[in-house]
Amino acid sequence: MSDERAVRERRIIDVLLALGEGEVTTYGDIAEVAGYPKQSRLVGRILRETKVDVPWWRVVNAQGRIRTGNPALQAELLAEEDVLVAGGRVLDAPIGRFARNDG
């Protein structure tokens, strides 16, 4: 792995590891925070390939849709963190892009 690729991977993993319980975000948001805007596919690749134990279930697409190989497991893990998922989509979350707006 090239040094540049390793740095990108580490930065993205660091952002993933910083996600808190009940925090739901998108592939694109992770890429932007890590310093790689518009590279959401890079985040998806890293989530698929990394051996680091990251909270992958807290990442969905920009519409809130679950796009993993095991959507039932992801929905279950999110529900355990008080995230409302229906029809394969995050509708409400305690923290993050899909956070509740209690007014």
The structure tokens 């963190």 sit at 81
Q: Which helix (H) or strand (E) segment is 64 a member of? A: none
Q: How far apart are the C-alpha atoms of 17 and 68, rounded to whole Å?
A: 18
Residues 11-37: pLDDT tens digits? 999 999 999 999 999 999 999 999 999
Neighbours of 63 (CB within 10 A): 9
pTM score of the predicted model: 0.92
The hierarchical CATH code for the domain 3-96 is 1.10.10.10
Bridge-partner residues for 67, per DSSP?
A: none
Q: Which one-letter amino acid corresponds to residue 77? A: L
φ, ψ (nearest 5 deg) of residue 24: -120, 130
89-102 pLDDT tens trace: 999 999 999 997 75
Tokens for 71? 């959507």
User: Which segments within the chain are labelled E, that is strand?
Assistant: 23-26, 59-60, 84-86, 89-92, 95-96
pLDDT score of 100: 76
